[in-house]
Amino acid sequence: MSHAPSQQASPDGTVPHTDPVQPEIRRFLHPDGTATGPLPEPLADPDRLVGLYRGMVLARAFDEKAISLQRTGRLGTYASSLGQEAVSVGTAAAMDDADVFAPSFREHGAQLWRGVTPEELFLYWGGDERGSAFEGPKRDFPVCVPVATHFPHAVGAALALKLDGGASVAVAIGGDGSTSKGDFYEALNLAGAWRLPAIFVISNNQWAISVPRQAQTASRTLAQKALAAGIPGWQVDGNDAVAVASCVGDAIARAREGAGPTLIEALTYRLGDHTTADDARRYRSDEEVSGHWKEEPLTRLRTYLANEGHWDKDREEALIREVRQRIDEAAEHYLATPPQLPEAMFAHLFATLPAPLEDQVRSLGGDAGNGEGSP
């Protein structure tokens, strides 16, 4: 084993490691809403900041409605993003329309920002795959529930974008638990080896369902996992939407210039249950959760805007009314949408259905047919 000559070996022969991971966590807004210093351009523009806040309020309103629908038996199992809105919205705000987004199952804030409608998201979580046929971002991937399997998808998209010769990038978001999966390591390795325009954002909410972050890995940080792939690994305050947008924006700029992929660990906290099928009170204390409410992203940015004279009670009340009306109308549209026929589950699977599946389609009274979209 060779070591850098400037480093002093310890008695057992090991050498202190010079940590190439970003030594400081990027942050522009303290939890109390005060600024750490000048905000970065162009995010310092009040309209941009208000836009970030609106995006997070919309995501939280969608969350509240989705949980209400699930609790009354009108939506399937649902994964809330409560407390993590800044990661989703900040990431999407840094992207261009032509970029490709590969979400996991907690990124509706980013999807709404990129043009996926609340109606489509309600349909998806209601078990209707028509909710994945976005009218807006045609190149974005649908929600990916299997943990980490969307990272290789993003790498494939990044390779296609590179071969096209343009400047677009692929961005994937996953949770801290996803970094324990082989798909994650394989994706990072290939993206690094081929210097692909791919950005991997880890929304580190401290819990992989009921498994705490410290029980998942011996890695000091999740950003550090970038080292093995030979790519930069950065940490950012994931409850600071300005910092997330800035950090992801810098990573995207690197990728557009041909410098390859970046891994970003956004430190946040999941304030709600893992999904509506979970009860987080069985493995987390109320004291732990209440402490993290003091850091949540919406109050932080709203306080900053109000202190700077860009927000007030009237604007807040108007925004809440507007957002709730939009979400309520979307929910009504979703509930009024006739369900698909049972045989629709076979559509879009094969260009030509295998014989056993053809039999199943016919058993449901459908026309097996052939080709994409059948029956």
Question: Which residues belong to the active site?
Answer: 270, 274, 283
How many Cα neighbours within 13 Å face the side chain of 367? 6
Handedness of CA 51, 56, 59, 64 (dihedral sign): negative
CA distance 50 to 168: 26
- Quote the crossing angle between the two packed helices 46-71 and 297-307, to the nearest 10°: 150
Measured between its terminal Cα atoms, the distance across the chain in Å is: 61
φ, ψ for residue 294, nearest 5 deg: -70, -10
Distance between CA 142 and CA 139 in Å, rounded?
9
- Prior bond of 375 cis (ω within 30°): yes
Strand partners, 200: 172, 263
Q: Would you say 27 and 236 are in contact if contact means Cβ atoms under 8 Å apart?
A: yes
* Sign of the four-CA dihedral 160, 163, 166, 168: positive
Q: Residue 225 carries which DSSP code? A: G
Strand order in the sheet with 170-175: 100-102, 170-175, 198-204, 262-267, 233-237
- Is 22:15 a contact under the CB 8 Å cutoff? no
User: Under 8 Å CB-to-CB from 38, ≥6 apart: which residues?
Assistant: 44
E strand or H helix at 163, and its extent?
helix 150-164
Before 42, cis peptide (omega within 30)? yes
